[in-house]
Amino acid sequence: MDRSHEPIKLTSAELGYLWDTYIADSMSICVFKYFLEHIEDVEIKTLVTLAMDLSQQHIEMIAGNFKEEGIQIPEGFTEKDVNLQAKRLFSDVFYLKYLKHMANGGLATYGRVLQHIFRGDLRAFFSKCLTSTMELYNKVTEVLTEKGLSTRPPFIPYPKTIEYVHKQSFLLEGLGRREGLTADEVTQLHFNIQTNLLGSSLATAFSQVTESDKVRKYIQRGKEIAIKHVKVFRDHLENHGLPVPMSVDQEVTDSTESPFSDKLMMFHFDLMIYSGIGNYGVAISESRRSDLVVDYSRLSGEILKFAEDGVNIMINNKWLEQPPLTIDRKDLTKD
């Protein structure tokens, strides 16, 4: 029997990443629709509209693929998770910095996803996701720069000669401290301060508008953790006379009217937490100082425990959709 024209089934990677992308983009559409209700700056509005259109294209493609394959389309997030009549909660500047953060995450995610995709149509899809996110990132960065809102990593001296490392103190704190930070270490410290500051500001906004006291306390705890982590990273930069990014809390208004469901806010917060864990993993791989590795590892453990508590809240409220799973063989053999 000729099976050459039969559709190739989705692998676990392809199924899982399509499912994850659908959920995340359905959330983004709700968020961007709300943003568009209040944006005054024409350039920023154009960028948010572009980001929303990309998310809409993604979920339409995935929904069509799932329908053809006979796969249940996730519920994700819908119009019931957003209140477009809610008062403005964020400034236009926040919207721009938020887009930059989300584009950063998209670049990292799609680059990783592509390594595990084999079906031609899906390689084309995720490749397009990557290139369109890259285009969005470049446009957002250009507007941030033009408006004087870019937060660049610090400048360090250019190397003038070739030098080799002669002491193990380059790596190990116990053998004497290396005076300088490498360029990669500076970059990661700066980046993780920025992401934690944005997460802290999002926590400020969400804690003002959530209806659930348990969710509010959880998000406020997340803000405390983010501020603590910023202090750890800030100390490393300041000890080397390097500038530190500033908070964006001032870009959150005093509104207490919720634009989003508690389900959406918890999922969004959870998404940023796991993104932060991934960022710390990259930072560990690019750090050569033992004290930095210890700090990132210690703080990762703290975030993992915090994330677990958040998942439990979502489960208790029936807010967490179950992702695709393998067959439970033990369950099949029960009497």
Cα(269)–Cα(202) distance, rounded to whole angstroms?
A: 8
Cα(67)–Cα(73) distance, rounded to whole angstroms?
A: 7
Cα(176)–Cα(152) distance, rounded to whole angstroms?
A: 31
Position 264 pLDDT exceeds 90: yes
Q: Are 190 and 243 in contact (CB under 8 A)?
A: no
Residue 203 token pair: 């926590």
pLDDT for the residue 295: 95
- From the list 223, 303, 319, the residue with the least C-alpha distance to 265 is 319
pLDDT for the residue 3: 45
Task: Say which residue the tokens 């940023």 belong to.
Answer: 272
Domains of the chain: 12-146 (1.20.1260.10), 174-316 (1.20.1260.10)
pLDDT for the residue 180: 81
Pick left, alpha or beta for residue 242 (phi over 0 → left; psi -120 to 50 → alpha; otherwise beta): beta
Residues in a beta bridge with 82: 260
The pLDDT tens digits of the residues spanning 87-120 come to 999 999 999 999 999 999 999 999 999 999 999 9
Cα(150)–Cα(133) distance, rounded to whole angstroms?
A: 18
Give the confidence band of 290 by pLDDT, cuts at 50, 70, 90.
confident
Strand spans (E) along 120-248: none
Average pLDDT over residues 290-295: 91
Give the confidence band of 159 by pLDDT, cuts at 50, 70, 90.
confident
Q: Are 38 and 86 in contact (CB under 8 A)?
A: no
Average pLDDT over residues 227-242: 95
Query: What is the average pLDDT score of the chain?
Result: 91
The pLDDT tens digits of the residues spanning 187-213 come to 999 999 999 999 999 999 999 999 999
pLDDT for the residue 175: 46
pLDDT for the residue 1: 42
